[in-house]
Structure 1
Amino acid sequence: MFRPLSIFIGARYTRAKRRNHFISFISMTSMIGLSLGVLAMIVVLSVMNGFQREMSSRILGMVPHASILGVKPLDDWQSVATAVQKNPAVLAAAPLTEMEGMLSYKGSMQPIQISGIDPAQEGKVSIVAEHIVQGSLADLVPGEFGVVIGEITARRFRLSVGDKLTLIVPEVSSEPGGITPRMQRLTVVGVFKVGAELDGSMGMIHVADAAQMQRWEPNQVQGVRLKLADLYAAPQVSAAIAGSLGDAYRADDWTHTQGSLFSAMKMEKTMIGLLLMMIIAVAAFNIIATLIMVVNDKGADIAILRTIGATPGQIMGTFMVQGSLIGIVGTLIGGVFGVLAALNVTELVGWVERISGQHIFTSDVYFISSLPSELQWGDVALICSAGLVMSFMATIYPAWRAAQVEPAMALRYE
């Protein structure tokens, strides 16, 4: 079988035992370093993808993907919901009224975002019903001023179902002060826990009670909450729907309230990826050192090859093949073990917790009590490609030096 001279000799140099064992050690170190760098990047980015997926499903499952709000309170939200659901990007719609205020209980206070909802419709657009740990969403009955609060709020105030607390909301008035507080006594009818910061900043009451607190008619709401097929298209979809409905409506979406969090998560993933890429770069520099020492060790062999007719290009190709093989093997080993580790890291951490008897991610401290992982093949391809490119680039200078070896000078003392 025909093989180019550079590939034949380069492959043999890679397999052959060397007189200088230190060169073999450096070569093995380069391969191991490259494998560890690729493995670490795949695992870390997969874990970050897992955390982002968990936070997205929990936070964006609670807050509206998008909202169509009326400039004035809506009298017939059903007709608006019917109109917006004609858009193929909209999966479901439900009424919504939002208020900001303060919760007060036995002298303690905290800010809260109150959402007026229809318990019968909320399950279509929210995951809250799946995360109720006390009470029930169905216990929100018009006129009884019940409230469903988050687990952090309940723990902070030491509340349980049946306890009463006070909601204070600001009201704009014509009095000299301009704003006067309005108070409403609420009864806790449920507690939810989604494992995110919303557990301490969000509460829900019946949409009819919210209308009464706003001094509206019982059937009036602020707007319609939408559940979308594509979260990241929310700004465009909501703006298009509001524009088609007319000037009496405006659009809002999750990027206004939660966009900074997910932008920070994306930037964090990028920066950690760049830092981990330095591990691969260090391994690539080891390949440079390895090949330079090999060139010095094989000076006589290079001179003999040149003497019998090998061109500088063939000599250069020989050492580029040798260095590239180190990079290919290291990258493949790191890629395979990285994929296996990323697919099983959750089970591995659980096994460590069972063996040690210690919880690494306790639910009392962390929102997410396990180590999630989501392997994305695009990340694997990008990481392996970066490793291969760096390895190849690292071979160019040592191979060029090998091609510049003069036969007469190399064989002078042989």
Structure 2
Amino acid sequence: MFTPLELFIGQRYTHSRRRNRFISFISFASMLGILLGVMVLITVLSIMNGFEKELRDKILGVVSHVTVSGTNGQLADWTAKIDGLKAQQHVIGAAPYVQKQVMLTNGNLMRGIVLQGIDPKLQSQVSDVNFKMLNGSFSSLAPRDYGIVLGVEVAAALGVIPGDKVTVIVPQVQVTPAGILPRLKRFTVTGVYQIGHPEYDGMTGFIELSDASRLFRLGENIGGIRLKLDDLFAAPAIGHELQTKLGEEFEVVDWSQEHGSFFRAVKTERIAMSLILGLVVLVALFNLVASLVMTVNDKAADIAILRTFGMDANRILRIFMIQGSIIGIFGTVVGVALGVWLSLNIGTVIPFLETTFGFKIFSADVFYISEIPSDMRWSNVIWIAVASLIASVLATIYPAWRASQIQPAESLRYE
């Protein structure tokens, strides 16, 4: 089988027994650095993507993709408006809601929450909160029964369980013969849910829609309408389109505006981690440059002999580019393989390490996400692999150029 001379010499230099051992160690260290950098970068990005996905699922499992409300905080004739919004393109679900801040009390215990009035029959179109119930269900919320479903942390703070009663204090006053008094209403706890996010487990509660309208004196009006879309990432564009169609009398807000800070924080952390881990690969590439420069100095006599045999400077350049590229390609390929394997099996590897060494990385008592998630995306794997390969090739240019500039007479003068 025919092998180009440059390829034959270049791959021979990568494992020659006559090479200086220190140079061999530097080459091995650079290859190992590229391998570990690529592997860790793929794994960490997959874990960061997994955390983002978990966060998105937890938040968007409770809230809607788009919210339509009146500029005065109320919507009239909401049944017709829901039918009109359902007819819009990309909208697959709609449900009315009322939302106000209230104070809950149970004896001497108090807790401020955001109280939401919902229609249990329609809420499932825009939220999967029914699947997060610890006790009871949303179907227990019926008109004039004055039942309330609480987050697990709210229930714990108030010391209540399903069947207990709590008092809702509305931030509105009423004038009575006894003077100005806050408006109070007793509710029966009918369910407890756990979303897995402190903003909802510790700060929200749900009651039936008509009960909420009476409690907040909205009459037949509601606070707004929540929409679910067929593509949550299209929410900003669709929300803008709906705002244009509905006009200034309505306020349209999408999930990226309400909860964008969470996702921006995760995105910023992912970028920072990518930069930090990218430095590992960069250090390995500097080691690669150093090892090639030392190889060129060590092989100066060999280069001179090849030149005297008629090999031109461009072919000498290609020899050392091939040598360095072999190190970079091997490190990248093995690093990608290990990174992909680790990302796909993180759910098995982490429990094994926790069992072996007897510790828990994310304790369920402290963290809301007790397991390390992983969401490997091939687009990330591809750009990491391509960037590593290109950087490895570029790192060989300077040492290879130095090799091509060696003059035979100068190198063989003292041989």
Confirm or deny a common fold (TM above 0.5): yes
Match for residue 11 of structure 2?
A: 11
Superposed, 1:212-361 pairs within 5 Å as: 212-217=214-219, 219-361=220-362
Q: 1:193: how far off?
A: 0.8
Letter in 1 for 2:60: L
CA shift digits 1:296-336 (9 cap, x unpaired): 11010011111122222221111111101100000000000
State whether structure 2 residue 50 is matched by structure 1 residue 50: yes
Match for residue 163 of structure 1?
A: 164
- Conservation of the 8 A alpha-carbon contact between 2:82 and 2:95: yes
Letter in 2 for 1:204: F
- How many residue pairs get matched? 409
Match for residue 116 of structure 1?
A: 117
Q: 1:64: how far off?
A: 1.8
Letter in 1 for 2:28: M
Q: 1:156: how far off?
A: 2.7
CA shift digits 1:47-97 (9 cap, x unpaired): 111111111011111112111113453343222122112222111001111
Distance 1:389 1:119, change over 3 A: same
Q: Which of 209, 212, 223 is matched with 1:210 structurally?
A: 212
Tell me the C-alpha RMSD between the 2 structures: 2.1
CA distance in 2, matches of 1:187, 1:150: 14
Superposed, 1:105-144 pairs within 5 Å as: 105-144=106-145
CA distance in 1, matches of 2:280, 2:357: 30
Percent of aligned positions that are identical: 44
Match for residue 189 of structure 2?
A: 188
SS at match of 1:95: strand
Distance 1:226 1:21, change over 3 A: same
Unaligned 5+ segments in structure 2 are none
Match for residue 22 of structure 1?
A: 22
TM-score (norm 1): 0.93
Match for residue 154 of structure 2?
A: 153
Unaligned 5+ segments in structure 1 are none
CA distance in 1, matches of 2:311, 2:215: 90
SS at match of 2:61: helix
State whether structure 2 residue 203 is matched by structure 1 residue 201: yes
- Conservation of the 8 A alpha-carbon contact between 1:170 and 1:180: no
Distance 1:87 1:404, change over 3 A: same
TM-score (norm 2): 0.93
CA shift digits 1:233-281 (9 cap, x unpaired): 2222123224323443221222232111111111111111110101101
CA distance in 2, matches of 1:357, 1:365: 17
Distance 1:180 1:68, change over 3 A: farther
Q: 1:170: how far off?
A: 2.3
- Conservation of the 8 A alpha-carbon contact between 2:325 and 2:396: yes
- Conservation of the 8 A alpha-carbon contact between 2:51 and 2:373: yes
Letter in 1 for 2:338: F
Q: 1:180: how far off?
A: 8.2
Match for residue 80 of structure 2?
A: 79
Of 29-38 and 151-160, the range deviating more from structure 2: 151-160
